[in-house]
């Protein structure tokens, strides 16, 4: 009886402790994520306009969603966001990051004591805030004074400067270059950190067994790096999918609407055209896609790195 009472009190104390510790987090999450999200859902069923913000919008049911699903512009926005920005953008980053990490972790680089220098230099683009990165690259890609055009011209590869950010064939590669430049170091350094825990003997053993370079890569390096690759793919995906400023400050979703993505579509509809109801509907779709993706992410971290954390208790 006594014991039970003490235990009960301890549990109550424990519960109070748990609630107190989580309270600040939830204060921020509810104010910042939950409330605005429900506000968005509500707006997406209205014709709220920027000019009628004071009076609120009129309930129009699912009209915004119908319009959106029927719109060819929205299909392009989806295509741009999913394929160009996210799939291609993330794939380029992971593949280059992998290649660079293997390169910088190679025996040759270590033999000549270059590893530290490389690592320090890798920090430079990473520490460059995106807004600065965009300013720099907008200049680099500029047709008149930019470094890329002037070097290509002086090498004789082109005879007229190319407006990279205003040409259909170049604009997506250019945006992806900017994002890759800015985010590649994080991916590379993470892979390098993971490679440090790969025992050298394992590689040597494989080589003694006569494995070719490709085989070592496939059967030794990649399995070891797999968890890091998965985490990087997941995180890069939601960092990129949700990002607004890379596209907006680089091309303003142009030329035309050629590089319009979901984040810029939300912005244009709400703040350029003033259609806040429609913009909210785009936002809800955007959040829904990311929630599905987030569930995959949760599954991965629940199964891999944070198994115990995801265990309920009584």
CB 166, CB 255: distance < 8 Å: yes
Count how many Cα atoms sit within 13 Å of the Cα of residue 66 in the half-sphere of its side chain. 7
For residues 62 and 132, which CB has a smaller minimum distance to another protein in the complex?
A: 132
For residues 167 and 218, which CB has a smaller minimum distance to another protein in the complex?
A: 167
Distances, alpha carbon 165 to alpha carbons 118, 157, 162, 190, 204, in Å: 30, 19, 9, 31, 47
Q: What are 11's two structure tokens?
A: 């549990």
Q: Where are the beta strands (DSSP E) in 186-304?
A: none
User: How many residues are present in the chain?
Assistant: 314
For residues 74 and 164, which CB has a smaller minimum distance to another protein in the complex?
A: 164
Residue 182 phi/psi, 5-degree rounding, is: -75, -30
Minimum Å gap between C-beta 88 and another protein is: 19
DSSP type of residue 34? I
H-state helical runs in 46-199: 63-70, 72-79, 89-104, 107-111, 115-127, 130-140, 147-154, 168-196
Minimum Å gap between C-beta 239 and another protein is: 9
For residues 166 and 206, which CB has a smaller minimum distance to another protein in the complex?
A: 166
Minimum Å gap between C-beta 165 and another protein is: 5
Minimum Å gap between C-beta 188 and another protein is: 9
For residues 40 and 89, which CB has a smaller minimum distance to another protein in the complex?
A: 40
Minimum Å gap between C-beta 209 and another protein is: 19
């Amino acid at each position: 009886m006594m014991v039970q009472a003490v235990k009960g009190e301890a549990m109550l104390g424990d519960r109070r402790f748990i609630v107190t510790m989580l309270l600040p987090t939830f204060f921020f999450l509810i104010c910042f994520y939950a409330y605005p999200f429900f506000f968005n859902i509500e707006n997406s069923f209205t014709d709220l306009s920027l000019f009628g913000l004071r009076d609120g919008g009129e309930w129009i049911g699912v009209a915004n969603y119908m319009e959106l699903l029927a719109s060819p512009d929205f299909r392009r926005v989806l295509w741009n966001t999913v394929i160009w920005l996210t799939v291609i953008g993330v794939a380029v980053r992971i593949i280059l990051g992998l290649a660079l990490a293997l390169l910088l972790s190679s025996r040759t680089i270590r033999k000549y004591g270059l590893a530290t220098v490389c690592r320090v230099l890798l920090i430079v683009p990473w520490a460059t805030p995106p807004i600065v990165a965009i300013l720099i690259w907008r200049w680099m890609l500029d047709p008149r004074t930019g470094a890329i055009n002037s070097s290509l011209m002086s090498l004789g590869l082109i005879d007229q400067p190319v407006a990279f950010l205003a040409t259909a064939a170049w604009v997506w590669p250019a945006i992806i270059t900017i994002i890759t430049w800015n985010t590649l170091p994080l991916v590379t350094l993470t892979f390098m950190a993971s490679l440090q825990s790969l025992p050298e003997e394992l590689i040597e053993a494989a080589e003694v067994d006569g494995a070719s370079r490709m085989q070592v890569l496939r059967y030794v390096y990649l399995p070891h790096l797999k968890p890091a690759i998965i985490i990087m793919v997941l995180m890069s995906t939601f960092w990129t999918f949700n990002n607004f400023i890379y596209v907006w400050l680089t091309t303003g979703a142009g030329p035309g609407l050629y590089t319009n993505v979901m984040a810029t579509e939300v912005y244009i509809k709400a703040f350029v055209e003033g259609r806040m109801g429609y913009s909210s509907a785009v936002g809800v779709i955007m959040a829904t896609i990311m929630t599905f993706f987030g569930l995959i992410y949760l599954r991965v971290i629940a199964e891999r790195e944070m198994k115990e954390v995801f265990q309920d208790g009584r």
